[in-house]
Structure 1
């Protein structure tokens, strides 16, 4: 069977000039396909605006008001994880009203200078956690713990009973303990 691949052929559709493709640009298109969970012909890429020689990378223009999200429609998460797996640096920038530009550059591996390497997703998460420790418990939770840790009138003897107006001291402690128990049960 003769080869009928044309310059504008895009995997049996149109748009990707095959003569301009390299091993890296094919990986970059594959990353977009994976991130958007679609075939190459359904990507929101404006193929005529792709810069196949963007430095040593490639630059895609996405149209039709594309959105990248971290959850539900999780193209952003899939793009980031895929970039870490493939050692591809990704940069997302606005490109006029209703357009995004996604620039991609290949990295040599996990080691080397900053402009040569790309961390695994696990290493990126570790670096993020080291730079951004978990936030301290919120003020309400700290206050509940402080109140719940106080002693009841029955635990400290008769001295407090005279100062406890109609049992409000004990009621407050018991209520804080119950709320704290429910909170800790919810968060396991």
Structure 2
């Protein structure tokens, strides 16, 4: 956990351990809490949400914040959701999960399992370079 995260987290003393992990995740996908604009709110006991005005340039390659968010979410077992939230805003929601197996609303698969599941559902031919 970086000192930068500690600096921004001190403004949210009500964060429990799960919410703190979600907070750190949100800081990381924004390249630091100083780039995160919007009100952080509790989303249940295990999550956070932010109505973000700074969630832009999220893509899978150049400006690869979307790929970073997906990989970090799977590595850290954080369910990440993006919702519409008004003009020029997105609502980012993060919920901490604690297991790889179990009921849908309790688990979070590894990135490798998620990739395999998508490729089974949407097979495509390999393109030779």
TM class by shorter chain equals 0.7 to 0.9
- Whole-Å Cα distance in 2 between the matches of residues 41 and 125 of structure 1? 32
Structural mapping, 1:93-132, within 5 Å: 93-132=83-122
Equivalent residue for 1:184?
A: none
Find the partner of 1:89 among 79, 93, 112. 79
Query: Does the Cα contact within 8 Å between 1:11 and 1:40 map onto a contact in 2?
Result: no
Equivalent residue for 2:26?
A: 32
Aligned residues: 124
- Whole-Å Cα distance in 1 between the matches of residues 117 and 84 of structure 2? 27
Say whether residues 1:42 and 2:28 are aligned partners. Answer: no
Tell me which of the two structures has the higher relative contact order, counting C-alpha pairs closer than 8 angstroms and 6 or more residues apart. Answer: 2
**Structure 1 pair 114/64, CA: closer, same or farther in 2 (3 Å)?**
closer
Deviations 1:68-103 (A, max 9, x none): 211110111100111101111111001101111111
Say what the alpha-carbon RMSD is for the aligned residues. 2.3
- Structure 2 length as normaliser, TM-score? 0.83
**Structure 1 pair 124/25, CA: closer, same or farther in 2 (3 Å)?**
same
Flag the structure with larger Rg. Answer: 1
Deviation, structure 1 residue 19: 2.1
Gaps of 5+ in 2: none
Equivalent residue for 1:67?
A: 57
